[in-house]
Amino acid sequence: MTRDLTHYSGGAHRAGMSGRFGDVHNPATGEVTSRVPLADAGEVAAIVDVAAAAQPAWAATNPQRRGRILLRFVDLVNEHVDELAALLSAEHGKTLADAKGDIARGIEVVEFSAGAAPHLLKGEFSDNVGTGIDVHSLRQPLGVVAGITPFNFPAMIPLWKAGPALAAGNAFVLKPSERDPSVPLRLAELFTEAGLPDGVFSVVNGDKVAVDALLDDPRVEAVGFVGSTPIAQSIYAHAAANGKRAQCFGGAKNHMVILPDADLDMAVDALIGAGYGSAGERCMAISVAVPVGERTADALVARLKERIDGLRVGEATAPDVDFGPVISAAAKERIEAAIATGIDEGAELVADGRGRTVEGFHGGFWVGPTLFDRVRPEMALYREEVFGPVLSVVRAADYEEALRLPSENEFGNGVAIFTRDGDAARDFSSRVQVGMVGVNVPIPVPIAYYTFGGWKASGFGDLNQHGADAFRFYTKTKTVTTRWPSGIRAGASFVMPEGS
């Protein structure tokens, strides 16, 4: 029996009133487990009403007290991590271990935000810039801000957005993916239990109607988005046209370069985890391996094939499962179509993940690990994001060709190089035209106090997620020039002051 989910506003669950619902599936079985309400513009406006009313008092709460509430929230998430991971796995399909990692990387940003806010919200001060004149600046919250987040990290990315926004004194309205909304709703409950004032954190479920309502509401001052590049670009343009700040992150085609001197066992381990973990449904997944030289490529492909044959695909709670199903039937169909296209284009299919079944879960959205060799840059398989467990090997003749491939690619999210040569790694890190670089690290997601963001078609906006950039994004600067009368000679001036 399916259940109807809700929105969350004012510290309580709110039933959907639009009459429209979307199905939420268990991707391991294909069964519909719940229905999620799809908000209309009126429902979005009502939730923003509540957020706007709650925000001034939250902004007036000092940063230390705001931080204590966020740290209490972190404690509650840790207390409920097994429950949250099970809920996440049931709607997303990723393994329980991977689900716990999703949650852990999210609360790291909340912890950082709670501690860093008092420091990062400090302004500047200069005394006596003119005779008896001082200048200081304030960093103040924007007001109501919104996050529009994807299915693949239903805990981490909402918390990456909400943590710094709340620590800075904003009210936050989350529009999570309608494919796996239960974890965001549970996080909202835990925020309330932690002592966050009612209305400061809200969840509105929906589709494009809800997104457009948030983008068009003049009280929503800023929007953060993570998803595909076409939608990221569209939301960025829509938000900017309405005078909002926007921080929109799109797709990726992350490369891993393997030089001839690399530790090949380490490189293969890295590719297996980064290419196939979470069924490849990560914006930082490695989807392109670039071995340099034919000998390196032959050895790499042979070892990858051997390892792929032993990977276990299955339901999240089963023991020793390496990765689970993809999110939906449509995703499975799209990924298998991309595999077929790769074959038609002439790439060499080394391992075929199509037609995968799992005993006892025949209705699940299963795609096995897939490996292509001799992929060429002009192929759609190389150019387009697959977002599934599909790894392409593009052979490079030399280092310079390997450097050019990620640098000239449309996307610029993450890249890695595996080598024992420090000079080569240093040169690569300096010259490659990609936003995040790993040296013998396959998924270079920075720690919470650095910022996360890609270049080119992977990111739209001039400020990244978490780290100091997040506080710049979620605050505005006010500059105050002060003079106190103390017997200074009066008299009107008709020229711009020059500080004299």
* CA–CA distance, 184 with 91 (Å, rounded to integer): 12
What's the per-residue H, E or C state across 147-164? EECCCCCCCHHHHHHHHH
- Euclidean distance between CA atoms 405 and 425, whole angstroms: 16
Q: How far is CA 244 from CA 143, 238, 283, 398, in A?
A: 12, 9, 25, 45
Closest of 117, 6, 138, 18 to residue 62, by C-alpha: 117
The DSSP letter of residue 228 is -
Alpha-carbon dihedral angle through residues 380, 385, 387, 389, given to the nearest 10 degrees: 50
Burial 457-496 (b: 16+ CB within 10 A, else e): bbbbbebbbbbbbbbbbbbeeeeeeeeeeeeeeeeeeeee
Q: Kindly give the interhelix angle for 156-167 and 182-194, rounded to the nearest 10 degrees.
A: 30
Residue 408 burial (CB < 10 Å; 0-12/13-18/19+)? Answer: exposed
- Token reading at 200: 């400061």
Q: What's at 463, amino acid-wise?
A: L
Per DSSP, helices labelled H in 203-328 are 208-216, 229-241, 264-276, 294-308
What is the per-residue burial (b if ≥16 Cβ within 10 Å, else e) of 333-371?
Answer: eebbebbeebeeeebeebbebeebebeebeebbbbbbbb
Instruction: Determine which one of 283, 285, 301, 331 is catalytic.
Output: 283
DSSP character string of 358-423: -TT-TTS-----EEEES--TTSHHHHS---SSEEEE--BSSHHHHHHHHHHSSEESEEEEE-S-HH
Whether 283 sits among the annotated catalytic residues: the reply is yes
Side chain identity at 276, as an amino acid letter? Y
Apex 164 CA angle, 467 and 450, nearest 5: 10
Specify the DSSP class assigned to residue 120.
Answer: H
Q: Which of 429, 436, 441 is nearest to 267 (CA)?
A: 441
The answer to whether 94 and 102 have CB atoms below 8 angstroms apart is yes
As a whole number of angstroms, the distance between CA 121 and CA 277 comes to 37
The one-letter code for the residue type at 255 is H
**Residue type present at position 308:** I
- Positions marked catalytic: 283
